Amino acid sequence: MREPITISLENKIIKKIDNSKGKNEPRSRFIEDIISGYFDRCDKVRSTN
């Protein structure tokens, strides 16, 4: 299990996220999906090296 992390996003990035997500989906869930996808890609890169 991974350790919890904290991220900070600039307001312009938050606005881009809000504009690109479904309006019925909470921002926190959308950001969790982005972070999860990032770590999945990192795991794949590590497993191929």
Total-model pTM: 0.40
Task: State CA 23 to chain mean position distance.
Answer: 17
Per-residue pLDDT of 2-30, as tens digits, reads 787 777 778 887 787 777 766 666 667 77
pLDDT score of 45 more than 80: no
Token pair for residue 25? 């989906």
* Confidence grade of residue 49 (pLDDT, cut at 50, 70, 90): low
Q: What is the DSSP letter of 4?
A: P
Cβ distance 31 to 17 under 8 Å? yes
What's the rounded Cα separation, in Å, for the pair 16 and 29? 15
What was the pLDDT predicted at 21?
A: 67
